[in-house]
Amino acid sequence: MLAGCLEKSMDIDSKRRHAMALDLVTERRIKFAAVIRAMRSVPRHLFVEEALAAQAYSDNALPIGFGQTISQPYVVALMTGLLDVREGMSVLEIGTGSGYQSAVLAEMGALVFTVECVPELHAQAKERLEALGYGNVRFKLDDGTLGWPEKAPFDRILVTAGGPVVPAPYLDQLADPGRLVMPVGEERGSQTLVAMLKENGEVRRETHGRVAFVDLVGRHGW
């Protein structure tokens, strides 16, 4: 009977993930096929508190404790798509949080180096991702605004917290060519989603609309 219950639960989860992915394509007009495939594979309900599991596939940000959130699926899809990740790339992720974004990047075949400054979230995400079998994720507990210089350069850098500027260490640690995606804004809780494209020693900046993220804290943040 237990096996039957687990199979039923997995079936329900699969349907909810499919519905979330379909909504991202049809309603949100997300065109990044590889991102949609990855998000359809990751069991998002395992990355939120059990009491919020029923809301895991709604297009909303949800609290994960310690003043942090798991981003809404649309924002995850948009940022990951703008990052233009390819299999085998090294990706620096700033702000591990629940580990959901790390899992999406790992599903896409990236080698993920993720940095978190909250000890409890770092430990929980590490345990969760290792239990789910994501062997291509490396974890560090540190000031995320410093990046991870020992593992640089990175093909891609994804920042899941908002800061007043793009910290200089990120651009130093970004490969050439390379791409960085981050919410940037002089007001806390209100940012512009920015993509920085580094090529031939030059950096070009694109903007992709307004977003709202928790603070990027540390030496080069708030």
Tens digits of per-residue pLDDT, 143-169? 999 999 999 999 999 999 999 999 999
Q: What is the pTM of this model?
A: 0.93
Structure-token pair, residue 213: 């993220």
pLDDT, mean over the chain? 94
* 71 a catalytic residue: yes
Q: Is the CB of residue 164 less than 8 Å from the CB of residue 156?
A: no
207: pLDDT strictly greater than 50: yes
1: pLDDT strictly greater than 50: no
Three-class DSSP category at 133: coil
Residue 6 binned pLDDT confidence (cut-offs 50, 70, 90): very low
Fold classification of 59-211 is Rossmann fold (3.40.50)
- The pairing of strands 174-187 and 190-199 is antiparallel
Q: Which pLDDT value is given to residue 78?
A: 97
Cβ atoms within 10 Å of 218's Cβ, excluding its own: 19
- From the candidates 71, 90, 98, 102, give the one annotated as an active-site residue: 71
- The closest of 80, 82, 74 to 20, measured between CA atoms, is 74
102: pLDDT strictly greater than 90: yes
Phi, psi of 127 (to 5 degrees): -60, -45
Tens digits of per-residue pLDDT, 39-97? 999 999 999 999 999 999 999 999 999 999 999 999 999 999 999 999 999 999 999 99
Q: Is the CB of residue 155 less than 8 Å from the CB of residue 89?
A: yes
